[in-house]
Homo-oligomer: A and B are copies of this chain.
Amino acid sequence: MNTCSSATSPALTGPDTPFAVVDVHRTRRNIARLRARAERLGVTLRPHVKTAKSLDAAALLHGGTPGPVTVSTLAEAEAFADAGHTDITYAVGIAPHRLPRVIALLRRGVTLRVLLDSTEQATFIAAAAREARTGLPALIEIDCDGHRGGLRPDAPGLPGIGRILHEAGCLDGVLTHAGESYSARTAGERRLAADEERDAAVSAAERLRAAGLPVRTVSVGSTPTAHAAEDLTGVTELRAGNYVFFDLVMAGLGVCALDDLALSVVVTVIGHRPEYGWIVTDGGWMAMSRDRGTAAQAQDQGYGLVTDLQGTLIPGLVMTAASQEHGTLTARDGGALPDLPIGTRLRILPNHACATAAQHHGYHVVDGSRDTGTPPAIEAFWPRVTGW
Protein backbone atom coordinates (compact mmCIF):
# COMPACT_ATOMS: atom_id res chain seq x y z
CA MET A 1 0.00 0.00 0.00
CA ASN A 2 1.21 3.48 -0.83
CA THR A 3 0.74 4.67 2.70
CA CYS A 4 3.15 2.08 4.04
CA SER A 5 5.97 2.71 1.64
CA SER A 6 5.80 6.47 1.73
CA ALA A 7 7.64 7.26 4.90
CA THR A 8 10.90 5.71 3.84
CA SER A 9 10.89 6.38 0.09
CA PRO A 10 13.30 9.13 -0.80
CA ALA A 11 12.47 9.44 -4.51
CA LEU A 12 9.92 8.62 -7.20
CA THR A 13 11.90 5.45 -7.90
CA GLY A 14 10.94 4.18 -4.44
CA PRO A 15 7.25 3.44 -3.92
CA ASP A 16 5.64 0.56 -5.74
CA THR A 17 3.70 1.71 -8.78
CA PRO A 18 1.15 2.97 -9.62
CA PHE A 19 0.98 5.92 -7.24
CA ALA A 20 -0.18 9.52 -7.37
CA VAL A 21 2.29 12.40 -7.32
CA VAL A 22 1.66 16.07 -6.63
CA ASP A 23 4.11 18.76 -7.66
CA VAL A 24 3.78 21.23 -4.78
CA HIS A 25 5.51 23.97 -6.77
CA ARG A 26 2.82 23.90 -9.44
CA THR A 27 0.11 23.55 -6.78
CA ARG A 28 1.35 26.69 -5.00
CA ARG A 29 1.51 28.57 -8.30
CA ASN A 30 -2.05 27.54 -9.25
CA ILE A 31 -3.32 28.56 -5.82
CA ALA A 32 -1.54 31.93 -5.95
CA ARG A 33 -2.97 32.66 -9.39
CA LEU A 34 -6.60 32.29 -8.30
CA ARG A 35 -6.02 34.03 -4.95
CA ALA A 36 -4.69 37.05 -6.82
CA ARG A 37 -7.71 37.00 -9.15
CA ALA A 38 -10.17 36.80 -6.24
CA GLU A 39 -8.44 39.69 -4.49
CA ARG A 40 -8.57 41.78 -7.62
CA LEU A 41 -12.25 40.92 -8.11
CA GLY A 42 -13.02 41.83 -4.50
CA VAL A 43 -14.55 38.50 -3.49
CA THR A 44 -13.78 35.89 -0.86
CA LEU A 45 -12.24 32.73 -2.28
CA ARG A 46 -13.87 29.56 -0.93
CA PRO A 47 -11.95 26.70 -2.58
CA HIS A 48 -13.70 23.37 -3.14
CA VAL A 49 -11.57 20.73 -1.44
CA LYS A 50 -13.23 17.80 -3.25
CA THR A 51 -10.38 17.57 -5.77
CA ALA A 52 -7.42 17.04 -3.46
CA LYS A 53 -9.41 16.00 -0.33
CA SER A 54 -6.20 16.71 1.54
CA LEU A 55 -5.68 18.73 4.70
CA ASP A 56 -2.08 19.28 3.64
CA ALA A 57 -3.10 20.70 0.27
CA ALA A 58 -5.76 22.79 1.99
CA ALA A 59 -3.13 24.29 4.27
CA LEU A 60 -1.71 26.06 1.20
CA LEU A 61 -5.05 27.57 0.14
CA HIS A 62 -5.19 30.51 2.51
CA GLY A 63 -1.58 31.12 3.43
CA GLY A 64 -1.30 28.58 6.21
CA THR A 65 -4.40 29.32 8.30
CA PRO A 66 -7.79 27.60 7.92
CA GLY A 67 -10.01 29.69 5.65
CA PRO A 68 -13.37 29.22 3.97
CA VAL A 69 -13.76 25.91 2.12
CA THR A 70 -16.39 24.03 0.14
CA VAL A 71 -16.87 20.27 0.57
CA SER A 72 -18.69 17.56 -1.38
CA THR A 73 -19.26 15.09 1.48
CA LEU A 74 -19.88 15.24 5.21
CA ALA A 75 -16.80 13.03 5.63
CA GLU A 76 -14.78 15.97 4.24
CA ALA A 77 -16.64 18.42 6.49
CA GLU A 78 -15.89 16.30 9.56
CA ALA A 79 -12.22 15.83 8.66
CA PHE A 80 -11.77 19.53 8.01
CA ALA A 81 -13.59 20.42 11.23
CA ASP A 82 -11.27 18.07 13.12
CA ALA A 83 -8.35 20.02 11.65
CA GLY A 84 -9.69 23.35 12.86
CA HIS A 85 -11.72 24.57 9.89
CA THR A 86 -14.83 26.43 11.04
CA ASP A 87 -16.23 27.93 7.81
CA ILE A 88 -17.48 25.15 5.54
CA THR A 89 -20.11 24.97 2.78
CA TYR A 90 -21.48 21.51 1.92
CA ALA A 91 -22.36 22.05 -1.72
CA VAL A 92 -24.53 19.00 -2.43
CA GLY A 93 -28.31 19.15 -1.92
CA ILE A 94 -29.16 18.13 1.62
CA ALA A 95 -31.03 14.89 2.38
CA PRO A 96 -33.01 14.69 5.64
CA HIS A 97 -31.07 11.74 7.02
CA ARG A 98 -27.88 13.86 7.05
CA LEU A 99 -29.19 16.55 9.39
CA PRO A 100 -27.95 14.86 12.61
CA ARG A 101 -24.38 14.93 11.29
CA VAL A 102 -24.84 18.54 10.17
CA ILE A 103 -26.20 19.59 13.55
CA ALA A 104 -23.37 17.79 15.36
CA LEU A 105 -20.89 19.90 13.37
CA LEU A 106 -22.81 23.11 14.06
CA ARG A 107 -22.74 22.32 17.78
CA ARG A 108 -18.96 21.99 17.59
CA GLY A 109 -18.84 25.62 16.47
CA VAL A 110 -18.46 24.99 12.75
CA THR A 111 -20.44 27.28 10.45
CA LEU A 112 -21.60 24.54 8.09
CA ARG A 113 -23.87 25.79 5.33
CA VAL A 114 -26.18 23.31 3.59
CA LEU A 115 -27.67 23.53 0.10
CA LEU A 116 -31.26 23.10 -1.08
CA ASP A 117 -33.50 23.83 -4.01
CA SER A 118 -36.99 22.79 -2.89
CA THR A 119 -39.79 23.70 -0.51
CA GLU A 120 -39.58 20.18 0.85
CA GLN A 121 -35.95 20.67 1.90
CA ALA A 122 -36.57 24.17 3.28
CA THR A 123 -39.37 22.76 5.40
CA PHE A 124 -37.30 19.98 6.98
CA ILE A 125 -34.31 22.28 7.48
CA ALA A 126 -36.51 24.82 9.26
CA ALA A 127 -38.08 22.11 11.40
CA ALA A 128 -34.68 20.66 12.32
CA ALA A 129 -33.30 24.09 13.22
CA ARG A 130 -36.26 24.80 15.48
CA GLU A 131 -36.08 21.39 17.12
CA ALA A 132 -32.31 21.63 17.64
CA ARG A 133 -32.55 25.28 18.73
CA THR A 134 -29.55 26.07 16.59
CA GLY A 135 -28.75 28.17 13.58
CA LEU A 136 -28.68 25.97 10.48
CA PRO A 137 -27.41 28.24 7.72
CA ALA A 138 -28.70 27.32 4.28
CA LEU A 139 -27.97 28.40 0.74
CA ILE A 140 -30.59 28.18 -1.98
CA GLU A 141 -29.09 26.55 -5.07
CA ILE A 142 -29.65 28.56 -8.24
CA ASP A 143 -29.48 27.00 -11.69
CA CYS A 144 -27.56 29.30 -14.04
CA ASP A 145 -27.16 26.99 -17.05
CA GLY A 146 -29.37 23.89 -16.84
CA HIS A 147 -26.44 21.79 -15.74
CA ARG A 148 -27.71 19.96 -12.67
CA GLY A 149 -29.65 21.08 -9.58
CA GLY A 150 -31.08 24.41 -8.51
CA LEU A 151 -33.96 26.78 -9.10
CA ARG A 152 -33.91 29.16 -12.02
CA PRO A 153 -33.45 32.73 -10.70
CA ASP A 154 -37.00 33.55 -11.84
CA ALA A 155 -38.57 30.38 -10.41
CA PRO A 156 -41.95 31.22 -8.84
CA GLY A 157 -41.14 29.24 -5.69
CA LEU A 158 -37.90 31.07 -4.84
CA PRO A 159 -39.24 33.74 -2.44
CA GLY A 160 -41.42 31.19 -0.65
CA ILE A 161 -38.42 28.93 0.00
CA GLY A 162 -36.46 31.94 1.18
CA ARG A 163 -39.24 32.87 3.58
CA ILE A 164 -39.49 29.39 5.13
CA LEU A 165 -35.74 29.49 5.77
CA HIS A 166 -35.71 33.09 7.01
CA GLU A 167 -38.50 32.51 9.50
CA ALA A 168 -36.45 29.69 11.04
CA GLY A 169 -33.29 31.82 11.08
CA CYS A 170 -31.69 29.66 8.38
CA LEU A 171 -31.45 31.85 5.26
CA ASP A 172 -27.82 32.57 4.47
CA GLY A 173 -27.92 33.21 0.73
CA VAL A 174 -27.71 31.74 -2.74
CA LEU A 175 -25.20 29.58 -4.56
CA THR A 176 -24.74 28.68 -8.21
CA HIS A 177 -22.25 26.62 -10.23
CA ALA A 178 -21.70 27.04 -13.97
CA GLY A 179 -21.14 23.35 -14.66
CA GLU A 180 -21.71 23.86 -18.37
CA SER A 181 -18.60 26.06 -18.51
CA TYR A 182 -16.60 22.83 -18.80
CA SER A 183 -17.90 22.72 -22.36
CA ALA A 184 -17.03 26.34 -23.16
CA ARG A 185 -14.44 26.22 -25.93
CA THR A 186 -13.14 29.78 -26.04
CA ALA A 187 -12.11 32.47 -23.58
CA GLY A 188 -15.10 34.47 -24.78
CA GLU A 189 -17.49 31.63 -24.00
CA ARG A 190 -15.99 31.21 -20.54
CA ARG A 191 -16.28 34.95 -19.90
CA LEU A 192 -19.93 34.77 -21.00
CA ALA A 193 -20.52 31.77 -18.72
CA ALA A 194 -18.97 33.74 -15.84
CA ASP A 195 -21.27 36.69 -16.55
CA GLU A 196 -24.32 34.43 -16.68
CA GLU A 197 -23.28 32.69 -13.46
CA ARG A 198 -22.95 36.05 -11.73
CA ASP A 199 -26.21 37.36 -13.18
CA ALA A 200 -28.14 34.27 -12.09
CA ALA A 201 -26.88 34.43 -8.52
CA VAL A 202 -27.21 38.20 -8.17
CA SER A 203 -30.70 38.35 -9.67
CA ALA A 204 -31.88 35.53 -7.39
CA ALA A 205 -30.43 37.41 -4.41
CA GLU A 206 -32.15 40.60 -5.52
CA ARG A 207 -35.50 38.81 -5.84
CA LEU A 208 -35.14 37.52 -2.29
CA ARG A 209 -34.15 40.97 -1.00
CA ALA A 210 -37.07 42.53 -2.85
CA ALA A 211 -39.29 40.13 -0.90
CA GLY A 212 -37.83 41.51 2.32
CA LEU A 213 -35.50 38.58 2.92
CA PRO A 214 -31.90 39.19 4.00
CA VAL A 215 -29.24 37.60 1.75
CA ARG A 216 -25.71 37.53 3.07
CA THR A 217 -23.90 35.07 0.78
CA VAL A 218 -23.96 35.26 -3.03
CA SER A 219 -21.68 32.41 -4.08
CA VAL A 220 -20.58 31.54 -7.62
CA GLY A 221 -17.90 29.49 -9.22
CA SER A 222 -16.34 26.76 -11.28
CA THR A 223 -12.71 26.50 -12.29
CA PRO A 224 -13.35 27.76 -15.86
CA THR A 225 -15.54 30.71 -14.84
CA ALA A 226 -13.40 31.62 -11.83
CA HIS A 227 -10.47 32.16 -14.21
CA ALA A 228 -12.59 34.07 -16.74
CA ALA A 229 -14.68 36.41 -14.57
CA GLU A 230 -13.81 40.09 -14.89
CA ASP A 231 -16.69 41.67 -12.96
CA LEU A 232 -18.30 40.03 -9.93
CA THR A 233 -20.37 42.97 -8.75
CA GLY A 234 -22.98 41.72 -6.30
CA VAL A 235 -21.15 38.44 -5.67
CA THR A 236 -19.63 37.83 -2.23
CA GLU A 237 -17.61 34.68 -2.82
CA LEU A 238 -15.98 32.61 -5.53
CA ARG A 239 -15.63 28.82 -5.52
CA ALA A 240 -13.36 26.55 -7.57
CA GLY A 241 -11.76 23.20 -6.85
CA ASN A 242 -9.98 21.64 -9.78
CA TYR A 243 -7.60 24.63 -10.19
CA VAL A 244 -5.37 23.39 -7.36
CA PHE A 245 -4.14 20.54 -9.58
CA PHE A 246 -5.64 21.31 -13.00
CA ASP A 247 -5.76 18.51 -15.60
CA LEU A 248 -5.91 17.75 -19.33
CA VAL A 249 -9.56 18.82 -19.58
CA MET A 250 -8.68 22.25 -18.20
CA ALA A 251 -5.60 22.46 -20.43
CA GLY A 252 -7.76 21.49 -23.41
CA LEU A 253 -10.15 24.31 -22.56
CA GLY A 254 -7.25 26.73 -22.34
CA VAL A 255 -7.86 27.50 -18.65
CA CYS A 256 -4.30 26.41 -17.88
CA ALA A 257 -1.14 25.26 -19.64
CA LEU A 258 0.13 21.67 -19.61
CA ASP A 259 2.96 23.04 -17.51
CA ASP A 260 0.45 23.84 -14.74
CA LEU A 261 -0.73 20.24 -14.22
CA ALA A 262 0.27 19.36 -10.66
CA LEU A 263 -1.13 15.81 -10.43
CA SER A 264 0.25 12.77 -12.22
CA VAL A 265 0.41 9.02 -11.71
CA VAL A 266 3.73 7.15 -11.74
CA VAL A 267 3.55 3.86 -13.65
CA THR A 268 6.06 1.20 -14.71
CA VAL A 269 6.54 -0.26 -18.18
CA ILE A 270 5.72 -3.99 -17.98
CA GLY A 271 5.60 -5.03 -21.63
CA HIS A 272 5.86 -4.22 -25.33
CA ARG A 273 3.74 -5.21 -28.30
CA PRO A 274 5.70 -3.75 -31.19
CA GLU A 275 3.44 -5.54 -33.70
CA TYR A 276 0.54 -3.38 -32.46
CA GLY A 277 2.60 -0.29 -31.60
CA TRP A 278 1.89 -0.66 -27.87
CA ILE A 279 3.88 -0.12 -24.71
CA VAL A 280 2.10 -1.74 -21.74
CA THR A 281 2.28 -0.27 -18.23
CA ASP A 282 0.98 -1.24 -14.81
CA GLY A 283 -1.24 1.84 -14.63
CA GLY A 284 -4.77 0.95 -15.72
CA TRP A 285 -8.12 2.51 -14.88
CA MET A 286 -7.69 1.54 -11.24
CA ALA A 287 -4.87 4.09 -11.12
CA MET A 288 -6.22 6.66 -13.62
CA SER A 289 -10.01 6.27 -13.24
CA ARG A 290 -12.29 5.65 -16.19
CA ASP A 291 -12.64 9.38 -16.83
CA ARG A 292 -12.26 10.28 -20.49
CA GLY A 293 -13.14 13.95 -20.26
CA THR A 294 -10.98 14.98 -23.22
CA ALA A 295 -12.91 12.62 -25.53
CA ALA A 296 -15.40 15.46 -26.05
CA GLN A 297 -12.67 18.03 -26.76
CA ALA A 298 -10.94 19.00 -30.01
CA GLN A 299 -7.86 16.99 -28.96
CA ASP A 300 -8.71 13.64 -27.40
CA GLN A 301 -5.89 12.82 -24.97
CA GLY A 302 -6.97 9.23 -24.36
CA TYR A 303 -6.45 8.28 -20.72
CA GLY A 304 -3.57 10.73 -20.45
CA LEU A 305 -0.34 12.20 -21.73
CA VAL A 306 3.00 10.70 -20.78
CA THR A 307 6.04 12.33 -19.20
CA ASP A 308 9.31 10.98 -17.97
CA LEU A 309 9.90 10.69 -14.23
CA GLN A 310 11.11 14.31 -14.13
CA GLY A 311 7.84 15.51 -15.62
CA THR A 312 9.07 16.31 -19.15
CA LEU A 313 6.46 15.46 -21.79
CA ILE A 314 7.33 12.62 -24.14
CA PRO A 315 6.03 14.12 -27.39
CA GLY A 316 3.30 12.18 -29.15
CA LEU A 317 2.97 9.40 -26.56
CA VAL A 318 -0.61 8.88 -25.30
CA MET A 319 -2.23 6.38 -22.94
CA THR A 320 -4.93 5.14 -25.30
CA ALA A 321 -6.40 2.14 -23.49
CA ALA A 322 -6.89 0.90 -19.96
CA SER A 323 -7.95 -2.25 -18.24
CA GLN A 324 -7.99 -2.67 -14.49
CA GLU A 325 -4.23 -2.82 -13.94
CA HIS A 326 -2.88 -2.35 -17.48
CA GLY A 327 -2.39 0.81 -19.48
CA THR A 328 -1.56 0.91 -23.18
CA LEU A 329 0.63 3.69 -24.56
CA THR A 330 0.70 4.41 -28.29
CA ALA A 331 2.40 6.95 -30.51
CA ARG A 332 0.09 9.59 -31.94
CA ASP A 333 -0.34 9.75 -35.71
CA GLY A 334 1.69 6.61 -36.32
CA GLY A 335 4.88 8.13 -34.89
CA ALA A 336 7.78 6.03 -33.65
CA LEU A 337 7.57 4.58 -30.15
CA PRO A 338 10.32 5.73 -27.80
CA ASP A 339 12.65 3.10 -26.37
CA LEU A 340 11.26 2.49 -22.89
CA PRO A 341 12.56 -0.80 -21.47
CA ILE A 342 10.60 -2.92 -18.99
CA GLY A 343 10.97 -1.35 -15.58
CA THR A 344 11.03 2.25 -16.87
CA ARG A 345 8.97 4.60 -14.74
CA LEU A 346 6.78 7.23 -16.38
CA ARG A 347 4.23 9.75 -15.22
CA ILE A 348 0.74 10.00 -16.72
CA LEU A 349 -1.09 13.36 -16.74
CA PRO A 350 -4.80 12.68 -16.19
CA ASN A 351 -7.96 13.84 -17.94
CA HIS A 352 -9.69 14.73 -14.72
CA ALA A 353 -7.75 15.39 -11.54
CA CYS A 354 -10.77 14.90 -9.23
CA ALA A 355 -11.45 11.41 -10.61
CA THR A 356 -7.84 10.25 -10.82
CA ALA A 357 -6.97 11.52 -7.35
CA ALA A 358 -9.96 9.58 -5.99
CA GLN A 359 -8.32 6.30 -7.02
CA HIS A 360 -5.47 6.80 -4.53
CA HIS A 361 -4.99 6.87 -0.74
CA GLY A 362 -2.92 10.03 -1.04
CA TYR A 363 -0.11 11.80 -2.83
CA HIS A 364 3.62 11.54 -2.84
CA VAL A 365 4.75 15.15 -3.00
CA VAL A 366 7.65 16.48 -5.08
CA ASP A 367 8.80 20.04 -5.66
CA GLY A 368 9.29 20.56 -9.38
CA SER A 369 11.16 23.83 -8.82
CA ARG A 370 13.92 22.03 -6.93
CA ASP A 371 14.58 19.16 -9.35
CA THR A 372 18.19 19.33 -10.31
CA GLY A 373 18.61 15.75 -11.44
CA THR A 374 16.93 12.40 -11.49
CA PRO A 375 14.88 11.08 -9.83
CA PRO A 376 12.77 13.74 -8.06
CA ALA A 377 12.86 13.52 -4.27
CA ILE A 378 9.67 12.76 -2.35
CA GLU A 379 9.23 15.46 0.27
CA ALA A 380 6.00 14.39 1.94
CA PHE A 381 2.97 12.12 1.77
CA TRP A 382 -0.44 13.80 1.86
CA PRO A 383 -3.24 11.38 2.77
CA ARG A 384 -6.73 11.84 1.31
CA VAL A 385 -10.05 12.01 3.13
CA THR A 386 -12.13 9.08 1.89
CA GLY A 387 -15.66 7.75 2.10
CA TRP A 388 -18.87 9.61 2.76
A: residues with CB less than 8 A from B are: 1-3, 16-19, 50, 72-75, 92-98, 101, 117-118, 120-121, 143, 146, 148-149, 179, 268-273, 276, 280, 282, 285-287, 289-292, 323-326, 328, 341-343, 354-355, 358-359, 361, 386-388
Q: Are A94 and B270 in contact (CB under 8 A)?
A: yes
**Given A74-B16, A95-B343, A355-B290, do A2 and B387 touch, yes or no (CB 8 Å)?**
yes
Nearest CB to that of A177 among chain B residues? B323
| Shortest CB distance A156–B (Å) | 12
User: A276, A287, A292, A342 — which one has the most chain B CB atoms within 10 A of its CB?
Assistant: A342
Contact B388 A285 (CB under 8 A): no
A73 to B17 CA separation, bound complex (whole angstroms)? 10
* A270 B326 Cβ-Cβ under 8 A: no
Q: Kindly provide the distance from the CB of A1 to the nearest chain B CB, expressed in whole angstroms.
A: 4
Taking the closest CB of chain B, its distance from the CB of A296, in whole angstroms, is: 13
B residues less than 8 Å from A361 (CB atoms): 386-387
Bound form: Cα–Cα A94–B121 in Å: 54
Residues of B within 8 A of A388 (CB): 1-2, 16-19, 287
**Residue pair A97, B323 in contact (C-beta under 8 Å):** no
Chain B residues in 8 Å Cβ range of A341: 120
User: Which residues of chain B are near A92, meaning CB under 8 Å?
Assistant: 270, 282, 325-326
* Closest chain B CB from A336 CB (angstroms): 20
Asked whether A118 lies within 8 Å of B3 as measured between CB atoms, the reply is no
A280 CB contact (under 8 Å) in B93, B328, B386: B93
Alpha-carbon distance A118/B73, docked complex (angstroms): 46
Please tell me which one of the listed residues B18, B121, B148 contacts residue A328 in the complex, with CB atoms under 8 A apart: B148
For the complex, give the distance between the alpha carbons of A43 and B359 in Å.
Answer: 35
Residue numbers in B under 8 Å from A146 (CB-CB): 276
Q: Please state if B272 and A97 are interface contacts (CB–CB under 8 Å).
A: no
